[in-house]
Structure 1
Amino acid sequence: MSSEFNYRAFSVTSVGFIASIFIVVLNIRLLWKFQNSLMKNKPEYHLFKIRFIVDICYSLTVSIYYFSLIVSYISPFILFQYKSLFIATLLSSNVVSTRFFLGALISIERLIAVFLPVKFHNNRQKISIFTFFIMLVLWGMLEDVMYFWVCNISPFEKTCSILGCTWNDCFLQYWTGNKLIIGLFTCMSSLILFVKLLSLKKAMNLNNDLSKTNYLCIGDACLTLIFDFSPFLVTLIFKTQLLSADIYGPYNATAKSLACFIDAVIAAIVLKIPSKINSIKSVNPRSGITSDRHGSSRTQF
């Protein structure tokens, strides 16, 4: 085994570790802003608040893995046993799965808000934020159920340095199908949302809060497509990894961390825009009368 210092793997891992630190700081700041503003009482922001918490959890768990790799690169004699890192890597995998599912939930909510705005406005507040928390926790636990009980994986039977090395065909099929279905749905629903918003742009002035949440949803979907789903599709189609983990380190995890970091920056910028209330206008195609949500009307020329 060569003792040559792996600059590429060290650089990739360091970027992931630094990004994780910034993710935690930025998302804590976003949560603090939520709790000290009127946004905390607005149900359209609930899923994004959960997203900030999930990103913090992912960054904390994956940073343990980053740190152990950085130490092992600097001092090759200090080798962390995979058993000691297994819990952290498994938890980070659970959080990634939860984050992926959360993206789909956000897309569904945004579609309902745009296509059925009245029903969304009247009924969204009836669903508690804790309902979504329970759904996401159960979804994350489902991965462990599949891993240990359904697919009956014994993670320490063979020597592995990454969690994916322990997977068998059963779990690989579950993970691949799960990611493919949810990823395609999230990307397609976000595309539909984007097209719908373009078509509605001239017909109505959306409430500022709805505009913000739609921007956050589309931005999150784009980052997921670029940093996570596209590499997964390439690997799935060509049956090969894009890069070697031995040479470039945990590039997949670093890509996810960069996506979460950019997501947090976008959220900080979008939510910094002052909220204002705009009337939502609807046009009657027969009479040519435009009415706003306050009940007033005027003739459209």
Structure 2
Amino acid sequence: MALFYYRFTLDVILGALVAAFLLFVVMYSYFSSQLSEYQNFIFYLSLPASNVGACRSIVTLCVAIERMVAAYVPIFFHNYRQHCPTVVILILAVIFGLTEDVVLYGFCNFHLNIPKNCAAFGCAINSCFLYYWTTHKSTIFALTFIFSLLLCIKLFIINNIMKTGGVELSRVNRLALIDAGMVCIFDFLPSFIANQFSTTRFFSFQNIGPYGAVAKLIGCAIEAFLVYRTMRKGKGSSTVENSKTIGRNSKKKINEIRVN
């Protein structure tokens, strides 16, 4: 569950950054002439959000891989999971998020020069980094979808054929599937559209604005609601199961006393 808590923390940070970015974009759209000298804030607010989003995508991918391995080879997972500490995964995810800045300034030779009608991160960066940005996001999200699909297949077999799924296992896997589903819908699709159709007029960032950021914020809100319901339902199921266990133990002790 530690990876989920890291993921939730990143969601809070990302949500705050995206909300600040969208607030400035809305203000800029209404007061563009007054805020023209502050247009660079579009880039300064969206780049940290992109870094956190990249870090978050790696954590999500690791969650999908972890759940898939735990479902298919549980003994191997139980014996060797401790050899890969969760904090190491988080550090690698943070490093991956910061590599965006290295690629942007070191390899793509970026110089900040935002077009006048630009109000999104996609049109504030150059074509070199846009290609890297959309490609690595699409790749990570596609891998997340593949591992999540494998997990779905295994869970279907466990729950409907073998009928051996426990409450805690179901709760953790359900969180992983919610996580992956939100990523595929609200992260992968906008990145795929940006990668394939950003040069067309309709899907250009200058025309419809930061649709990727809006999708992320909506996805975070929906996921927070679904996770809250899942955690609450899981606690209720655990309480009921514990009550049943206590009741069975009490009846057993009473019967033993009567026999004696």
TM exceeding 0.5: yes
Match of 2:14 in 1: 58
Match of 2:101 in 1: 144
Question: Are the equivalent residues in 2 in contact too, given 1:231–1:242 (CA < 8 A)?
Answer: no
Q: Is 1:154 the equivalent of 2:114?
A: no
Aligned partners of 1:240, 1:259: CA distance in 2, in Å? 25
Q: Is 1:70 the equivalent of 2:31?
A: no
Aligned partners of 2:128, 2:18: CA distance in 1, in Å? 25
Structure-to-structure mapping, 1:265-284, within 5 angstroms: 265-273=225-233, 274=235, 276=238
Q: Whose helix proportion is higher, 1 or 2? A: 2
- Shift of the alpha carbon at 1:168? 2.9
- Shift of the alpha carbon at 1:246? 5.1
Q: Is 1:190 the equivalent of 2:148?
A: yes
Match of 1:109 in 2: 66
Match of 2:200 in 1: 240
Aligned partners of 1:158, 1:234: CA distance in 2, in Å? 21
Match of 2:5 in 1: 49
- Shift of the alpha carbon at 1:237? 4.1
Question: Are the equivalent residues in 2 in contact too, given 1:235–1:242 (CA < 8 A)?
Answer: no
- Shift of the alpha carbon at 1:173? 2.9
> Bigger shift: 243-252 or 55-64?
243-252
C-alpha deviations, 1:32-83, integer Å up to 9, x for none?
xxxxxxxxxxxxx111101111111111212221221233345455315132
- Shift of the alpha carbon at 1:117? 0.8
- Shift of the alpha carbon at 1:267? 0.8
- Shift of the alpha carbon at 1:197? 0.8
Match of 1:133 in 2: 90
Percent identity over paired residues: 31
Could you tell me which amino acid in structure 1 is paired with residue 175 of structure 2? L
Aligned partners of 2:30, 2:115: CA distance in 1, in Å? 26
Q: 1:256 aligns with which of 216, 228, 234?
A: 216
- Shift of the alpha carbon at 1:183? 1.7
Structure 1: state its 5+ residue gaps.
1-44, 279-301
Question: Are the equivalent residues in 2 in contact too, given 1:112–1:120 (CA < 8 A)?
Answer: yes
Q: What's the TM-score once normalised by structure 1's chain length?
A: 0.69
C-alpha deviations, 1:82-109, integer Å up to 9, x for none?
3234322110111111222222111111
Question: Are the equivalent residues in 1 in contact too, given 2:120–2:205 (CA < 8 A)?
Answer: no
Aligned partners of 1:86, 1:107: CA distance in 2, in Å? 31
Question: Are the equivalent residues in 2 in contact too, given 1:104–1:185 (CA < 8 A)?
Answer: yes
Could you tell me which amino acid in structure 1 is paired with residue 192 of structure 2? L
Matched position secondary structure for 1:78: coil
> Bigger shift: 230-239 or 112-121?
230-239
Question: Are the equivalent residues in 2 in contact too, given 1:153–1:166 (CA < 8 A)?
Answer: no
Structure 2: state its 5+ residue gaps.
242-260
Q: Which has the higher contact order (CA 8 A, sep 6+)?
A: 1
Structure-to-structure mapping, 1:216-235, within 5 angstroms: 216-235=175-194
C-alpha deviations, 1:243-290, integer Å up to 9, x for none?
465564432211111111111111111111225499xxxxxxxxxxxx
- Shift of the alpha carbon at 1:124? 2.4
C-alpha deviations, 1:124-155, integer Å up to 9, x for none?
24433321221111011111111110111112
C-alpha deviations, 1:175-224, integer Å up to 9, x for none?
23212221211111111110111112232423322211211111222222
Q: 1:212 aligns with which of 146, 166, 171?
A: 171
Could you tell me which amino acid in structure 2 is paired with residue 256 of structure 1? K
Could you tell me which amino acid in structure 2 is paired with residue 163 of structure 1? F
Over aligned residues, Cα RMSD in angstroms? Answer: 2.5
Could you tell me which amino acid in structure 2 is paired with residue 186 of structure 1? T
